[in-house]
Structure 1
Amino acid sequence: MTSELDPFRKAILTVHPDLEDAAFRALPGGWHSRAVAVDDRLVFKFPQGEEAELALRREASILAAVRPHVSMPVPDLRLHEGMPLFSEHAIIHGAHLETAQYEALPEGRRQALGEVMAGFYAQLHALDRAAMTAAGACPVERWLDGDAIAARALPLLPAALQSFAGRTIAGWRNLPPDPLGETYGFFDGHGWNMAFDHAAGRLNGIYDFADSGFGPLHQDFIYSNFIDPDLTARIIDGYERLTGRAIDRARVALLTGLHRLWELAALADAPEHHETMIASVAAWAARQ
């Protein structure tokens, strides 16, 4: 009987015939790649299309440049050239970290997580720009301007969110450039890119550097708000102690709201995503 995993299994066995009797399972799909876990110790990623292949090559190069300079465990991607191109790395064991799970953590575990994430950001932001450019890092995706976000997102929002959205877009229009400039950063630090050991209450590593690149420094702190603003506050506190930089918390909050409106605007033509994106805006508005 054929399986959707058969072509991936065949490709993997060409480089790892020793895995003939291993257990193969599909992992939840990303936007650009299919992923297969083998014996819960190796992950193989198969890019879907030319753009995805370029992104996988770039991610492997970036991780090679990042890994020696961060304490946080990150994937060690090995590329296998051929038809198809695919990557291999050892699994960093752990699961996603979501809001309810974070809220259930005791105080000490919350603080430890904030500190380790603060160290991760401090180390990333200290990386040499020229070296990261040579590794393939490029500017992160730029958000739509205020007019475009308003035109695409506001008609989709319920009346109860119109005031919040209007204030947020107005703040974005009037926001001066980041006082700390641009940096190489992760720009994707939410709980779905974490390998969190829930039994031990600790973070085992971070993965998916496809969206990393150069962007406004404050923006790198918004993504942990998908987990909980309490975590973001702890990360910022630790980061300030480590780096001596002052982070504008109001700016981070504004950027968080704008990011969620931008995501809705970017998906305005994809109604199947509207409910999720509107709920994301509503969740942040309720915190303000």
Structure 2
Amino acid sequence: MQDDELDTLKETIVARFPDLAGSRFRLLTQGWDSIAVDVDDRLIFKFPRNEIAQKSLIREISLLDVIRPAVTMPVPDIRLIDGSRAFSRHEKLKGSHLETPHYTRLSAEAREDLALRLARFYVDLHGLDMDTMRAAGAEPVEAWSKPDEVRVKVLPLLSGELKILAERIIASWADLPPDPYGTTYGFFDGHGWNMAFDHETGRLSGVYDFADSGFGPLHRDFIYSNFISTDLTERIISHYEILSGCALERERVEVLTGAHRLWELAEAVDDPPRIPFMIDHFSYWAAALR
């Protein structure tokens, strides 16, 4: 079935770019919104699944046109290809995902370089003019359920130390005052699956997938690197404070990280096969706190 789908997408691509007829086409892991095709490990073509996804892609392109010249971090230069089935094309950033096992093998120097590059990226991004980003299509990031709603859904799924930890996180989350730095435009998706990391050189080549970027509380933008390592997050925050002059609340970032894991678990309640995975996801992060 995947071969048939790839053949169809290849025909669409070659019809618009005949010079690619002899290239190697590879169907990438399919995302929720789009199907992606890798061509010669050099180009990425994205095909939105529906009208909503197409609007999201168009918005991402508009946002990146503002972001690209304003940040030192390489980001995709995406171009929309109009037609009966609209799709996009951009040059692939060199590298692949950065996951926890990869990070643990990095030297201290490589970890510092990675954290500094990401900190600069966040400083650049948070410095963008809000009105300019709004005009480019930026919207508020996805809202999480309220702490009480999450409590009702997740506590019956947990037991022992995990349940005690969840109760403590939810209580701390409910008591959090508004973010001291208010709302900013941010990435809000800075986990390792949105990074192009060159494992040969041990350096970050760039970041991608700005579909979930938007306006949100500044501290929330720092929770996603915890998917990779709490050590990385601490290093990013330390560099960010020096570069920006803003003192960040590490406890707030920790509480928001836990809240995010629990919110994702709450969202999985209506999809029972996902529940064990999300519990493991929360448990893995909890173990990193010890």
TM-score by shorter chain over 0.5: yes
Residue number in structure 1 paired with 2:227: 226
Q: Which residue of 1 aligns with 2:118?
A: 117
What is the match of residue 192 of structure 2? Answer: 191
Return the offset for 1:155: 1.8
1:64 is displaced (CA, Å) by 0.7
| Alignment of 1:96 onto 2:97 | yes
Name 2:51's counterpart in structure 1. 50
Which string of whole-angstrom CA distances, capped at 9 and with x for unpartnered residues, describes residues 70-111 of structure 1?
Answer: 011100000011121100000001011111110110110001
For residue 78 of structure 2, what is the aligned residue in structure 1? 77
SS class of match (1:136): coil
Runs of 4+ aligned residues of structure 1 deviating over 6 Å after TM superposition are none
What amino acid does structure 2 have at the position aligned with 1:262? W
3-state DSSP of counterpart to 1:89 = strand
Distance 2:206 2:273 in 1: 32
Residue 37 of structure 1 corresponds to 38
Instruction: Report 1:61-210 matches (<5 A).
Output: 61-210=62-211
Q: Could you tell me how far 1:287 is from its partner in structure 2?
A: 2.8
Question: Which amino acid letter does the alignment assign opposite residue 262 of structure 2?
Answer: L
5+ residue gaps, structure 1, are none
3-state DSSP of counterpart to 2:156: helix
- Identity, % of aligned positions: 55
Secondary structure at 2:204's aligned position in 1? strand
In structure 2, stretches of 5+ residues that fail to align are none
How many Å separate the matches in 2 of 1:53 and 1:277?
29
TM-score, length of structure 1 as denominator length? 0.98
Measure how far apart 1:3 and its partner are: 2.0
Q: Please report how far the alpha carbon of residue 266 of structure 1 lies from its aligned counterpart in structure 2 after TM superposition.
A: 1.0
The 1-side partners of 2:96 and 2:41 are apart by 13
Deviation at 1:29, TM superposition (A): 1.1
The number of equivalent residue pairs is 288
Q: Report the secondary structure of 1:287's partner residue.
A: helix
Distance 1:169 1:94 in 2: 37
Cα distance, 1:50 vs structure 2: 1.2
Shift of 1:11: 1.4
- 1:13 shift after superposition: 1.4
Q: Which amino acid aligns with 2:265?
A: L
Q: Quick check: 120-129 or 146-155, which moved more?
A: 146-155
Q: What is the DSSP-based 3-state SS (H/G/I as helix, E as strand, rest coil) of the residue aligned with 1:169?
A: helix
Aligned partner of 1:237 in structure 2 is: 238
Q: Deviations over 1:135-186 (max 9, x none)?
A: 1010000100011101112222233311000001111111110001010000
**Aligned residue number for residue 255 of structure 2:** 254
Distance 1:206 1:31 in 2: 19
**CA distance in 1: counterparts of 2:82 and 2:157, whole angstroms:** 44
